[in-house]
Structure 1
Amino acid sequence: MKLLNQSLKYLSVSIFLIVTIWSAIFYINMLDEIHDSIDDGLDNYKLLIIKRTEKDGQVLEKRDFEEGNFTIHQITEKEALGMRDYFTDTLLYMENEDDLEPVRMLTSAFKHGDDYYQLTVFNSTVEEDDLIEDLFYSIIWLYIILVASIVLINNVVLQRLWKPFYLLLGDLKAFRIDKESPVPIVKGDTKEFKELELAVNSLIIHARETYSSQKKFTENASHELQTPLAIISTKLELMLEKESLDPENAEIVGQILQTIQRLTRLNKSLLLLTKIENRQFSENSEISINQVVARSVEDLKEFADYKEVKILVDNSCEIQVKMDENLASILVSNLIRNAIFHNSDGGNVTITLVENSLRIRNSGKLTALDSEKIFTRFHKETQKSSSTGLGLAIVHAICKLYGFHVSYSFDGKHCFEVKMS
């Protein structure tokens, strides 16, 4: 979730809680005030009725609510002394409305002469209930409008506040350490964003210096190694051409020459792997994997014939990807070469191209390889000295560079699959 949305989420929850609590307290207070007002009116009405009984004894004969808003019933002294004024909300049938209406009722006791009476007084609360209902819905609408307005306003404000951050983030996403692009800058005067800009630029400058030093070291080391290795190889080949060497020494020189050649291949592979990981290949174009496979199969035909390995290609689908042409060729040829090299004599290799996927299956060892280690550097499933142990590591590095997924499985045959989407 974006930082802006998280800020809005916490802000909205806080506002929701505050406004909800405030609305509940406001509603309860208003309801209490309305009830207090009605209760005060009932108390006054009760006192007026008691005074009327002192002047008009007929009032004591009022037994129902048909002709007024009160009733009087005679009760015992014990009942009267045990009674306290209390208020209740109930419904009464109103003839003029021909319906039940809500009322607020006061029940009390009083003494007239030597007798005790129960007085019940009520007041219709229809208008008050309508007022309370209107008040309730007004609070609901006020709540909705208030929350929506605050969230909307804060959304606009927060978007403007965080705009420099997102611009900086976009510049960082587009930034490439191997390009001479300017360092990202933050627009605005926000102190924290300025400090972030200084920290990011400091890291970028340091990373560029490290990258440049590493690149120069790799290129220099590779070049400096290639030259003496080439000289040694040439001199050893000249020694082998001389007839003065006896067979034993000639065999030793041949073994040394093979080691030097392996060291040369290892040096080139390490240099290539370093360049891939440093993202030094950026000349991307639309590449047909089908054509790359056809070229690789043609280049490795002699090697396959020597091993008596049969290669079958199934072009079920045309695969187009955008990548560096050299890396595409290295990716495909390393997988096919690996399938031939580790195959058994007279075996077979099946190359299948389906939608966005390249699968290479080969016969060979009858047990599965270690799927957790085969793509690591210098891991070998064979003790053959001609293997550098970097072929599949280079394949994995190329896939990682372009967001491909390479996997291995075994179902009687070894299968490597590269998903290019």
Structure 2
Amino acid sequence: MKLLNKSLKGHIVYSVLVLFVSMPVFYFELTSIVAEDVDEDLVAQKADLVAKMEKVIANKPFEYFQVFEPDIHIKPANTKRTKDSIYTISFFDSIAKENVPHRVLESTVVLNSEWYNITISKSLVDNDNLIFSIVMVQAIILVLIIMGLLFITRYHSKKLWKPFYATLGKLHEYKIESEKSIELEKTDVDEFADLNKTISNLTNRNHEVYLSQKEFTENASHEMQTPLAVFQSKVELLMQTTPLTSDQAELITELSEAGQRMNRLNKTLLLLSKIENNQFTDKESVNIDKAVQKLAEQYKNALNQKSISLHTRVAGDAIINANQTLIEILIGNLLSNAIRHNVQGGRINIIIEPNQFNISNTGNTKPLDASRLFQRFQKQTADTNSLGLGLEIAKRICSLYKADITYNYADSLHSFNVSFNNS
């Protein structure tokens, strides 16, 4: 949930709660007030009626009341009421053809030493309509007030948080390898101004560190290449000198192998550093099938030396947006491992599917330690030609492109699966 919506969530819940609680309370309170007012009218009407009846009681005009005052009923009392009774009841209205609520007062009075029951009723239809209208108007006003407050709060909140979202958007677009420093909008909100200043300082320092590390890596690699090349050439000259004993030849061979290993290690570490610094920024559509075919051709001699059979199955086009060189390094490292750690006369299976590929090979009959497999300089075999960096580089390339690389051992096959996200 976005920060703006989260901040408004409490206001919305509170407003809805107030609306649903206040409307019934307002309705019942208004109904109570109206009923109390009607009751007072009924009591006053009864007092006025009694005063008039005392003047005409001798003529017994009750029948006339029934005709001209249908809401008033008078009859001799069989029982005496100690106090007035007021209640609400519905009568059928022959004109409206429906039940109409009435407020009714029943009382017993003494007229000329005789007891009479008086029943006075008053329709509540007009009052109910009035109450309903008042409640509806009040509800509409309250809803408009709540909606207006929420709209105003949201508008001002969006305006207030605009610098924050602008800064967030700039951070999403920022790339540390870019020469351009991050430019953030100015704001009059102190907290956001502080945040922008801190972010600017942080990104500038990180960019300087990145450039310094990049320069150091390139310089170190360049400076190491020269003495390594001199060392290798001197070793080759020593091999050509005569006379040369077998012990001397063995020592020179070991020196040559050590020099070649140092040269490979230097290039590999430089490559790893470039990957970590995201220096391979160029991207294009890379076809995994074509890349596999290209590398299989390059490793043809190595496959023939061990009599390894290579089987490729394409179950769908796997085309990703990435750096061509890095993808070839990824596939090459996995294929090289599958050849190096294979057995004589073994096999390698490559399965290519949409957005993923799998390379499996025969080899050691025991599964590898998956917890240490992708760690730097971790070797699972005693092969001196292995630097222990191939899978580390593969893991770094996968991380760069948000891909997943997993290892599995089943059916005597060591399997590496690389799955790319659709993006």
Relative to the length of structure 2, the TM-score reads: 0.87
Task: Check the 8 A contact 2:181/2:204 in 1, yes or no.
Answer: no
Which is further off, 40-49 or 181-190? 181-190
Shift of 1:243: 4.5
Q: Distance in 1 between matches of 2:227 and 2:90?
A: 109
Determine the structure 2 residue equivalent to 1:50. Answer: 50
Matches within 5 A, 1:71-86: 71=73, 74=77, 76=79, 80-81=81-82, 83=83, 85-86=84-85
Letter in 2 for 1:167: A
Helix, strand or coil: the match of 1:177?
coil
Partner of 2:209: 210
Give, in angstroms, the shift of residue 316 of structure 1: 4.0
Could you say if the C-alpha distance between residues 355 and 50 of structure 1 is closer, same or farther in structure 2, counting changes exceeding 3 Å?
same
Give the secondary-structure state (helix, strand or coil) at the position aligned to 1:90.
strand
Q: 1:162 maps to which residue?
A: 161
Per-residue CA deviations over 1:245-294 (Å, capped at 9, x if unaligned) read 54345334433433343233222222211211111111222333222212
What aligned pairs does 1:92-107 form with structure 2 within 5 A after superposition?
92-107=91-106
Deviation at 1:110, TM superposition (A): 4.6
**Which shifted more, 269-278 or 97-106?**
97-106
- Alignment of 1:2 with 2:2, yes or no, is yes
Going from structure 1 to structure 2, the CA distance change for 1:339 and 1:126 (only over 3 Å counts) comes to same
Q: Residues 92-241 of structure 1: matches in 2 within 5 Å?
A: 92-110=91-109, 119-241=118-240
Say if 1:45 and 1:394 are closer, same or farther in 2 by CA, change over 3 A.
same
Unaligned ranges ≥5, structure 1: none
Corresponding residue number in structure 2 for 1:69: 71
Look up the match of 1:356. Answer: 355
1:195-244 Cα deviation digits (max 9, x unpaired): 22111101111211222222223223333333333333333343344455
Q: Do the aligned partners of residues 109 and 375 (structure 1) sit closer, same or farther apart at CA in structure 2, a change above 3 Å counting?
A: farther
Contact 1:273 1:394 in 2 (8 A): yes
Consecutive unaligned residues of structure 2, counting only runs of 5 or more, are none
**Structure 1 residues 214 and 109: alpha-carbon distance in aligned structure 2, compared to 1, 3 A threshold:** farther
Letter in 2 for 1:135: I
Distance in structure 2 (CA, Å) of the matches to 1:319 and 1:214: 35
Secondary structure, aligned partner of 2:261: helix
Is the contact made by 1:172 and 1:184 (CA closer than 8 Å) also made in structure 2? Answer: no
Amino acid at match of 1:374: L
Provide, for residues 30-69 of structure 1, a one-character-per-residue CA deviation record: whole Å limited to 9, x for no partner: 323322221221121122233334334377978x978532
In 2, are the aligned partners of 1:226 and 1:264 still within 8 Å (CA)?
yes
How many Å separate the matches in 1 of 2:105 and 2:135?
25
Evaluate the alpha carbon distance shift between residue 304 and residue 50 of structure 1 in structure 2; reply closer, same or farther with a 3 A threshold.
same
2:358 counterpart letter in structure 1: R
Matched, 1:321 2:320: yes
For residues 219 and 59 of structure 1, the distance between their equivalents in structure 2, rounded to whole angstroms, comes to 124
User: Which secondary structure state, in structure 1, belongs to the residue aligned with residue 388 of structure 2?
Assistant: coil
Tell me, in whole angstroms, the C-alpha distance in 2 between the residues paired with 1:300 and 1:381: 22
Contact 1:184 1:197 (8 Å CA) reproduced: no
% same residue: 32
- How far has the Cα of 1:394 moved from its partner? 0.8
TM-score of the two chains, using structure 1 as the length reference: 0.88
SS at match of 1:181: coil
- Higher mean Cα deviation, 384-393 or 311-320? 311-320
What amino acid does structure 2 have at the position aligned with 1:74?
A: A
Aligned Cα RMSD in Å?
2.9
Aligned pairs, number:
417
Q: How far, CA to CA, are the matches of 1:374 and 1:35 in structure 2?
A: 84
Matches within 5 A, 1:197-346: 197-346=196-345
* Structure-2 change in CA distance of 1:286 and 1:97 (3 Å): closer
Q: Residue type of the partner of 1:68?
A: P
In structure 2, the CA distance between the partners of 1:103 and 1:307, relative to structure 1 (3 Å rule), is same
Contact 1:364 1:414 survives alignment (8 Å):
yes
Q: Structure 1 residues 106, 221: closer, same or farther in 2, change over 3 A?
A: farther
| Letter aligned with residue 4 of structure 1 | L
Q: Deviations over 1:391-421 (max 9, x none)?
A: 1111111111122222222321222222232
**Structure 2: which amino acid aligns with 1:231?**
V
Structure-1 residue corresponding to 2:16: 16
- Residues 136 and 230 of structure 1: CA distance in aligned 2, closer, same or farther (over 3 Å): same
Q: Distance in 1 between the 2:113 and 2:244 partners?
A: 150
Partner-residue secondary structure (3-state), 1:298: helix
